[in-house]
Amino acid sequence: MRFAIRLSVVLSLLAAVSTGCSWVDDDLSDCETEYTLDYELRLVTNMTAELQTQLSLDTDLAVSTALKDYLSNIFTDYAHDVDLGFYDVEEDSVLLYRESHIMDANQTSYTIFIPVRQYMHLAMANVSRNQELVFRGADYCHRAQLAQQETLDTIAPHRAGIFTARLPMDIKEGEDQQFDVSLYMANCASALVIDTLGSGIRDMKVYLGGFATGFNICDSLYRFNDISPLVRPDRIEVKGSTSLCFAAAHFPSREPEVSKTIIDVDDSSTIPEGEDNLWKAWIYVSLPDGTITQNVLGFNSPIRSGHLKLLKGKVYTNGVVATEDPTVTVSIAIDWVPGLEIPVDL
C-alpha cells in the first residue's frame, strides 16, 4: 500500500557568488532567485495485508479494529513536524543551514534563504513526537543519526512513523530548477495477539529485543549494539475479547545478510537455519499459584522499515505460549525465577 503527502516548499536563494550579496542584506531585490522543492512522504507498508491475513476470522474483528486504531499514528500519511538540514559537500560536510517546523498538515509552504551552491540535503518528519529518540551529530552530515536512549534497560515504543530523506542539490544561479525529495519510513511495528481462553492466568508481560539502536540518515544505514534496551510494547485494550494484545513501533531488526533500509513488502526471506534469531520476544506469564513461566520466542524473518509483523498465539494453564508459525522458535522455562527483573542479552 502506498500513501503520499506532497509538500511544496519555495526556496528564495541568495546568489552570493557574483553579486556581492551576503546572508544579511538590506536590499535583496537583485539577489533572489526562486527554486522549488517538492517533498513527498512515501509509505510502503504491508500493514493492511498483515492484519487481513492474520486476523481474518470474525472472532478477530475486535482485535483488528483495536490494532488499526493503535497503529493509525504509526502507518499514516500525516506529518506533524519536519526538520530540514542543508550540508556542505566538501571536507567534513558541515551543517550550513537548518530549519524545523510544526506542520500538522498534509501540505505547507516555507520561504528559506540560503546561498547558491552545492548541498547535501537531509530531511526528517515526525521526529519530535518520539521522545525515546535523540538526534545526534546534527552539525555534520555523515554523523547525523537518530539514536535510541541507551542509558535505560527498557524503552517505550515509538509514537509516530519516522520519515527521512537525503538528496544532493546543486543550486545554480539563474536557472529554473525543481528538486523532488522522497521521504521513506525508517521504523516499523510488531504485534502479539495471545488467546487466554481457559488458561486462568493472572497476568502477562512482554518485552521485545533485537532491533536497531540507531539510524544514520545520510547513509540510510541502521546501527546495532550487542546489548541494547528492550522495548516495552503497549497493551492494547480489546473489549469483549479473550485475547491479550501487545503492540509497539520500533526500529527494524537485522537482515539475514546486511542491515540497511529496504523499501520492500516481501516478508518471505528468512535467516538460514541454525543461525541466531534476528529478533525476539520475551513473554512472562504469571500463574494463580504465584509462579512465572518464561517464553522466549525467536523470529527468523526480519521486520523491515514500513512493515508490521503480527503473531498469534495461545497460552495454556501452565503458562506455555504456543504458535502455529513454523518459522518461530520457542524456549520455555516453567517456574522461572528471575535473576534480574528483565532479560538484557539477546
Whether residue 232 contacts residue 207, with contact meaning beta carbons closer than 8 Å, is answered with: yes
The CA-to-CA distance between both ends of the chain, in Å, stands at 32
Whole-angstrom Cα distance, residue 56 to residue 309?
15
Burial zone of 111 (CB within 10 Å; 0-12 exposed, 13-18 middle, 19+ buried): exposed
Q: Are 43 and 74 in contact (CB under 8 A)?
A: no
Of 84, 163, 94, the closest CA to residue 122 belongs to: 84
Query: Using CA atoms, how far apart are residues 112 and 38, in angstroms rounded to an integer?
Result: 14
Residue 57's pLDDT is what?
84
Question: Residue 39 is placed in which grid cell?
Answer: 517533498
Give residue 260's pLDDT.
44
Looking at 171-242, which runs of residues are DSSP E strands?
Answer: 178-185, 188-195, 203-209, 214-216, 221-223, 230-231, 234-236
Q: What is the pLDDT of residue 108?
A: 66
On whether the CB atoms of residues 66 and 238 are closer than 8 A, the answer is yes
What's the pTM value of the predicted model, to 2 decimals?
Answer: 0.84
Beta-sheet pairing, 32-44 with 2-14? antiparallel
What SS3 state is found at 64? helix
In the chain, what are the helix, strand and coil shares in percent, each to the nearest 5? 5, 45, 50
Nearest 5°: phi and psi at 230?
-90, 150
Please report, in tens digits, the pLDDT of each residue of the chain (346 residues total): 443 444 444 444 444 433 444 444 443 333 445 667 777 788 889 999 999 999 988 889 999 999 999 999 899 877 889 899 999 998 889 999 999 888 776 666 666 677 888 999 999 999 988 888 999 999 999 999 999 877 778 999 999 999 999 999 998 887 777 788 888 999 999 999 999 999 999 999 999 999 999 999 999 999 998 878 899 999 999 998 999 999 999 999 999 865 444 334 344 433 334 357 999 999 999 999 999 999 999 999 999 999 999 999 999 999 999 998 999 999 999 999 876 455 544 4
Report how far Cα 296 is from the mean position of its chain's Cα atoms: 23
pLDDT at 18: 37
Q: Are 182 and 164 in contact (CB under 8 A)?
A: no
Q: Which residues of 298-315 are buried (b: 16+ CB within 10 A; e: fewer)?
A: bbbbbbbbbbbbbbbbbb
pLDDT value for 182: 87
Q: How many helices (H) and strands (E) does the chain have?
A: 2, 23
User: Which helix or strand (DSSP H or E) is residue 305 part of?
Assistant: none
C-alpha cell, 283: 513473554
The per-residue pLDDT for 271 is: 37
